[in-house]
Chain A
Amino acid sequence: MRRVKATGFHLLLPLSVLAFLVVVNVIKGVDYFSLSVINGALYGNIPNILFGASELVVLAVGMTLVTSSSGGQDISVGVAGAITSSVFVAILLGADKITWWTIFAGFLAGCAVGVLIGAFNGSLVAVFKVQPMVATLILFTAGRSVAFLIDGKLSPILANDLTSRIGGVMPGVFIQTPILLTAVFIALIALLLKTTNLKLYAQSVGVNEKAARLNGIDPVAVKLLTFMLLGVCTAVAGFIAVCKAGRHDSVNLLKYIEMDAILAVAIGGNALGGGKFSVTGSIIGAYTIEVLNRTLLRLEVDTEAIKAVKAVFIIVLMVLASPVVRGYLANAVRRPRSGTQTGTVAEEAEDGWVSAPDAFRGREAP
């Protein structure tokens, strides 16, 4: 009974927030869902949202894995995306002619650099036990200079048909390419999590490192691996972003996106302290942020006030999602139904996800 409940409940919050925002948009105008075909691609609010959120979704997925295994966040993902994409651009512009093959080679090189960056951050965290946020602060502050140097001190221009098709629309395809790329990426991640033990390992390490080691899981390797996977995510996000922009602006590309990526993980109902996680939740969280941004624009909130309104909305959301409020709500719902009080707050929270670490810790004692 409990298991079934636990799997569905964590998505309730992100989904209801998303639903709330959609309702607000529909009240503002019933044409919210209207679609048309322009220049051979679907156009409307929904495609715009999917298009705009693509990089954020990719990064939120990687951030979820790192959060789970290390109990901390990587704040260098935007910078890492700028570096990986600068390598991609350098390879493209270094080639005689830009073909699908050079793009593929550039993409792979970007991924390799992403893995390297992930390994760097990961070793600091896993081997040297540096707090993830402090470890990634190094790249956060110095990384854009690296991208700037790879760029040859200028913002290079891609300006060719192939990359603008990747950042826009392929001829004969109804859906914008970044949306398709994101879908493929999500499918691959789902496949990875379904066919390997990665999810179990990351969660075990995040819940209790010692217990995981006693069970034969090497926490260093698992943390390194999640950081490397996040590195690949930054390469994919950087690739999409630079193809959309058509030029590499090392200063502004993917700037501040790390904050939104962390927020997406949180809205997705994941504990930022690590442990159990839901990638689906983070993906919904990422789209929720995008919808929120666009809703504020659609409601024509004053430009000066837009940040404050967003902040208030998120604070309310986080308070609602906090274990305290959820525990209280669960109590309130259960009491009239069963007639008897089921116990302490700690027990109440057990069918959520936050208290899972306590469950494991209990087992640790010999």
Chain B
Amino acid sequence: MKFRSITRTGGSNRHRRMKAIGMALVLLLAVALVAGCGGKKTAAAGASPIKVGIVNLPPEESGYRQANVEDMNKTFAAANGYEARQTNTADNSEQIAAAAGYIRDGVDYLLISAANASGWDNVLKSAKDAGVKVFLFDRLIETDASNYQAALVSDMYAEGSIAMDWLLKQGLGAYNVILIRGQLGSAAEKGRSDAVLKARDAGKIKLVADGTGGDSWSLEEARKVVEAAITAGKDFNVIFAENDGMAQGAVQALDAAGITHGKGGKVKVIGFDFNRFALRNVQAGYWDLDVQCSPRQAAQIAGWIQDLKAGKPIPSGIVYQTEIGIDTASITNDIVLNKGINADPGEGVITR
């Protein structure tokens, strides 16, 4: 068949050939997909190692999760005296099945970051019956606190307060803030917005615009929120974006409109999550503040396990991680390298 003219002899040979090519392509990509999605299990043998079962979300979920999984692998490595097995899936029932399997296999400790907060009661009870200590990390489960030992999570409210406290110390004449929220109703959005809304209600700041980057915390949406404020002629001097990607989008809008920002600029830019590109932007004075949301819970949990082994008491219930905020004055290379997540563009490189 030619695309220039219609021929009446549409060959069935060609049709068959197209079919064969099509089938080959489908097979090829199917194989590639399966190869790409295989799970990962780490097991090592040693002299009576501590057996740990880790149930986590998949690393491709986010840069946060990637750093989290890496941190777990590093801390609970065979070299440190652990025999760790892990399952990374976003499917709650698969997670529960994996946890049940680990209990059957007789692990000493079970670490869980649940895809869904509910449905865990039975498996947690069977862990208790089997004498397996359960630690939750990053995500809480809706269950009785007696069903697990401790939960180590980020305090989103504290993160918002860190940013707001820093801002109010900057001595700006007036605080005209553009708030760019994340996915509405998510724990991070509720926590981080809370400090801003409280400061507004207390009359400490004025909320010039209140927008959102939507369910995907979108850079483009954040950019549109700021562009709308600029073209409407609004006067503002603070961007409070609830993650780094949205802060980047907001800054793109400022740049396009020729509005200065960062160190010595008109607009203060605040981001969250400690992406390394964001930290480098702060270091270069391109942004002003970034607040941590640490994905690295493994060391603290490992410390608790060692304490238990030594017969020392450990905390129970919900334990919040200590997070920090860094600005252009307090940033160091060490923070960028050891506390950041995702790729590092290198010192002095600005990500516009």
- The interface of chain A, by Cβ under 8 A from chain B, is 29, 31, 38-39, 41, 43-45, 48, 52, 116-117, 119-120, 122-124, 126-128, 138, 142, 144-146, 148-149, 153-157, 159, 164, 168, 176, 196-198, 201, 213, 215-218, 220-221, 224, 244-247, 249-252, 255-256, 293-294, 297-298, 300, 303-304, 306
Contacts and interface: CB of A to CB of B under 8 A. Distances in A.
Contact of B4 (A45, A196, A247): A196
Interface in B222-247: 223-225, 227-228, 231-233, 245
For the complex of A and B, the 9 pairs showing the least CB-CB separation, nearest first, are A123-B22, A297-B228, A148-B60, A127-B22, A255-B216, A154-B343, A216-B10, A157-B345, A38-B258
Nearest to A241: B220
Given A39-B258, A303-B184, A303-B211, A145 B58 contact: yes
Nearest to A158: B351
A145 B36 contact: yes
Contact of A157 (B22, B66, B277): B277
B218 A145 contact: no
A124 B26 contact: yes
Interface residues of B, number: 70
Nearest to A151: B343
Contact of B60 (A128, A156, A250, A298): A250
Contact of A119 (B19, B22, B212, B215): B22
B18 interface: yes
Contacts of B210: 303
A44 B231 contact: yes
A153 B66 contact: yes
Interface string B44-82: 000000000000001111110010000000000000000
Contacts of B225: 297
17 contacts: A39-B255, A48-B231, A119-B21, A120-B26, A127-B26, A146-B33, A154-B66, A156-B343, A159-B352, A164-B352, A168-B352, A197-B5, A221-B14, A221-B15, A221-B18, A294-B224, A303-B184
Contacts of A245: 219, 248
Contact of A48 (B58, B181, B227, B344): B227
A227 to B, nearest CB: 10
Contacts of B66: 153-154
Contact of A216 (B6, B22, B228, B345): B6
B7 A216 contact: yes
B19 A252 contact: no
Given A154-B343, A252-B219, A293-B224, A159 B4 contact: no
Nearest to B228: A297
Contacts of B59: 148, 153
B228 A197 contact: no
A246 B248 contact: yes
B23 A127 contact: yes
Interface string B329-352: 000000000000011110001111
A251 B61 contact: yes
A364 B10 CA distance: 18
B256 interface: yes
B184 A304 contact: yes
B37 interface: yes
Contacts of A293: 224
A249 B245 contact: yes
Interface in B15-36: 15, 18-19, 21-23, 25-26, 28-29, 32-33, 36
B265 to A, nearest CB: 15
Contacts of B22: 119, 122-124, 126-128, 220, 224
A142 B343 contact: no
Contact of A217 (B6, B18, B223): B6
A62 to B, nearest CB: 17
Contacts of B60: 144-145, 148-149, 153, 250-251
Contacts of A138: 33
